[in-house]
Amino acid sequence: MNNQLKHIVINRLLKFAGFLAIMYAITIHLSSCDKMTDNYQEFLKGGEIVYPGKADSLKVFPGKYRIGLSWLITSDPTITSAIVFWNAGKDSTLVPITRTSGIDTVNVILENLQELPYTFNVVTLDSKGNKSINTEIIGTVFGDIYRKRLLNRAIKGFTYTGNNMLTIQWVTADKGTLGEEIIYTDLNGASHTVISGVNSDEVQLEKYNPESGFSYTTVFTPDSMAIDTFKTAVEVIKPEIKKVEKEINRELFSLYELPGDYSVPNATANTVDKIWTNPKSLSESGTYISKVSGHPMPQWFTIDLGAVYELSRLKLFQRGLSEGTNVTRLYAGGNLMEFEVWGSLSPDLNYNPDDHNGNFGDSWVLLQACTVNRPSGNVIPAGATRGDNTSEDIAAAAAGHQFILENATEIRYIRIKAIKNWDSAARPFVNIASIDLSAMQY
């Protein structure tokens, strides 16, 4: 055999051997596939495994010894319930679900939990009991351990103004603060609850009573998703506010008629209320002028101040003018020379001083016996007018005659008891242009 023929024979033998190798590999592969098919069929003997749609967009909402969960059911119409597991599967709850045609939101609150962090697992179920793939989330339950760590928002300072307004200034609030709840009793005895927001630097308490103080708590949220808030322990605050002497609001005054009082005017233009409605100055017309006939000196009348005060000072303005011809009425006629100021918290409504020689009884206290000073020193009574008033006499009357009430105490009612006037004929006139009262107030 020549060399060319030998090369052709060898080449064909190699190709045939390769063909046999390929056929053997195919046979082995087909045999293996048959075995896999047999195994798969064995696995599906109980039917095909079905997984309902899982809980989507699972969220957790921390609370006080409880927690909230929510999730979406987006597409699977066969879902009828869900099971929530916690405590490593030791605890669970079944949540019924009613599907609609759209996306449904499922909400559940788990109560009576311990103050711990938890891992929650949610699986959904269809009507045949098939379970979805597990959805997991971590959430924390809060309680007294958390609450006891909370501190009230600190107070920077206080401002108390003459209109009985207390302003509380706050420092910057701690993280998680929602605001403050302030409770106080006002000057009228009414209780108020005031809420101060976390973004407020201050809060105001109207008609604040310094004797009562106030209490407050701070409200916190442990998490922006929390379903419950927490309050700090109640803290009672009584700021140190000192009393100062201030004029009393005369708009609250009113006549308080009691047995034996004498407040009848000599004319309709001269009623006793002029004493507190007239300007705080001398006045010629429209002043209080008592009726001449009737009760002789001493005579008195009673004023309700409208509130309880610790009286400290009284200022009296005479009938007359500080300039012009009517200055002659100053220190003359029925203008008071001597009088007494009495006070009471609760007058005896059945007690008539006329039946007791002018004594006011135990329900009244003498605050001050007063004598009007005439700087010129001449205290000789005159008639309706006089022409010897000096510039000092006129200036003293124009400024108002001030009397410190040395026996000051808390009272609501005052009695002005006229003892003597500047009338030379001893006629029982009582002339008063106006009075002004001051008290020690917060």
Joined together, the tokens standing for residue 353 give: 């001083």
pLDDT for the residue 90: 96
Residues 368 and 407 sit within 8 Å (Cβ to Cβ):
yes
Lookup: tokens for 184: 């106080």
Alpha-carbon span 35 to 30, nearest angstrom = 9
Please count the CA atoms within 13 angstroms of the CA of 205 that sit on its side-chain side: 28
Distance separating alpha carbons of residues 3 and 11, to the nearest angstrom: 13
Output the pLDDT for position 8: 45
Per-residue pLDDT of the chain (442 residues; tens, 9 = 90+): 454 444 444 455 445 445 445 444 444 444 444 443 343 344 334 556 788 999 999 999 999 999 999 999 988 999 999 999 999 999 999 999 999 988 999 999 999 999 999 999 999 999 999 999 999 999 999 999 999 999 999 999 999 987 889 999 999 999 999 999 999 999 999 999 999 999 999 999 999 999 999 999 999 999 999 999 999 999 999 999 988 899 999 999 999 999 999 999 999 899 999 999 999 999 998 899 999 777 789 999 999 999 999 999 999 999 999 888 889 999 999 999 999 999 999 999 999 999 999 999 999 999 999 999 999 998 999 999 999 999 999 999 999 999 999 998 899 999 999 999 999 999 999 999 999 999 998 8
Question: Residue 183, Cβ neighbours under 10 Å: how many?
Answer: 15
Cis peptide before 296 (omega within 30 of 0): no
CB 82 within 8 A of CB 69: no
pLDDT of residue 304: 98
The whole-angstrom separation of Cα 141 and Cα 66 is 6
Supply the pLDDT for residue 333.
94
Q: For the chain, what's the residue count?
A: 442
* Model pLDDT, residue 441: 86
Q: What is the pLDDT of residue 433?
A: 97
For every residue of 316-336, DSSP letters joined together read EE-BS-SSSGGGGGTTSEEEE
Kindly list the strands in the beta sheet with 165-170, ordered across the sheet, starting from the edge strand earlier in the chain: 155-161, 165-170, 202-205
Q: Are 206 and 227 in contact (CB under 8 A)?
A: no
CA 355 to chain centre: 52
Check residue 31 and give its pLDDT. Answer: 47
Closest CA to 117 of 140, 98, 94: 140
Residue 346: half-sphere exposure toward Cβ, Cα within 13 Å: 0
Per-residue pLDDT at 47: 54
Q: How far is CA 161 from the centre of its chain?
A: 17
What is the DSSP secondary structure assignment for residue 52, as one 8-state letter? P
Confidence (pLDDT) at 89: 94
Write the Ramachandran bin of 286: left for phi over 0, alpha for psi from -120 to 50, otherwise beta.
left
Q: Which whole-number Å values give the CA distances from 12 to 2, 3, 8, in the listed order?
A: 16, 15, 6
Judge contact between 441 and 313, C-beta under 8 A: no
Taking the C-alpha atoms of residue 290 and residue 263, their distance in angstroms, rounded to an integer, is 7
Q: What is the pLDDT of residue 43?
A: 37
Report the distance separating Cα 333 and Cα 78, nearest Å.
106
